[in-house]
Amino acid sequence: MRTYSTCRYDINNIVTGSSTERSHTIDFVKGLLIVLVIVGHILPGALDESLARWIIYSFHMPLFMTVSGYLVKREKLKEISWGKFILKYLRRIVVPWTIAVLFFYSIGCNGTYSIKALLSAFITPYYHLWFVVAYCGFMVLTKLVSVGGVLRTNDFSCFMCCAKIPRPL
């Protein structure tokens, strides 16, 4: 009997990383997490007023960190210099994040601009932009751990996924 599968990847390839092809399972998980982020942001009520939001918030961002850590190539992290590492994340993440912070600051300040408010926008980013700061910190910690050889990168990301779990209702 012949079986057909829409996914060419088995769990062994995903866990061991032995496949050089793109993992549809990882793509599915990332897509599902993106949908959960959107749903979590549009649900009415505060975190402690919405069971659905609390459930989504209890795992979606830690799982994003876990997937991000899983996808990091430890060998490349070891090979890349700190200078190249910082430049890579400045260009890919920090510059767009800075533009977003400035945009939200400009529309949220109602024409009353101040240095204190601008600095506050960077120190305590607007609503959803906190994740970018957390992700950059996560990547720096991952590079430190990877270069130091303390833990395997995947182990470290699993450890870090527990860092932001909301308290029970």
- Residue 14 backbone dihedrals phi, psi, to 5 degrees: -70, -45
Query: Is the per-residue pLDDT at 9 higher than 50?
Result: no
For residues 101-119, give the mean pLDDT. Answer: 85
Distance CA(73)–CA(69), nearest Å, equals 9
pLDDT per residue as tens digits for the range 49-96: 888 888 888 888 888 888 877 888 878 888 888 899 999 988 999 999
pLDDT at 110: 73
pLDDT band at 12 (very low <50, low <70, confident <90, very high): very low
Rounded Cα gap, residues 139 and 72, in angstroms: 9
pLDDT of residue 14: 44
Q: What is the pLDDT of residue 87?
A: 92
Q: Please report the pLDDT score of residue 164 as a whole number.
A: 46
What is the residue-wise DSSP string for 40-78?
HHHSSS-GGG-HHHHHHHHHHHHHHHHHHHHHS-HHHHH
- Considering the entire predicted model, what is its pTM? 0.62
Contacts of 53-56 spanning 24+ positions with Cβ under 8 A: 54/166, 54/168, 54/169
Q: Which long-range contacts (CB under 8 A, 24 or more apart) does 87-93 make?
A: 89/136, 89/139, 93/132, 93/135, 93/136
Q: Say how far apart CA 98 and CA 94 lie, in whole Å.
A: 6
Q: Which two tokens stand for residue 77?
A: 């992290």
Mean pLDDT, rounded, of the chain: 76
Closest CA to 156 of 146, 167, 169, 168: 146
pLDDT cut 70: percent of the chain above it: 75
Nearest by Cα to 141 from 103, 96, 85, 95: 85
At residue 111 the predicted structure's pLDDT band, cuts being 50, 70 and 90, is confident
pLDDT digits (tens, 9 = 90+) for 121-151: 888 887 778 888 888 888 888 888 777 665 5
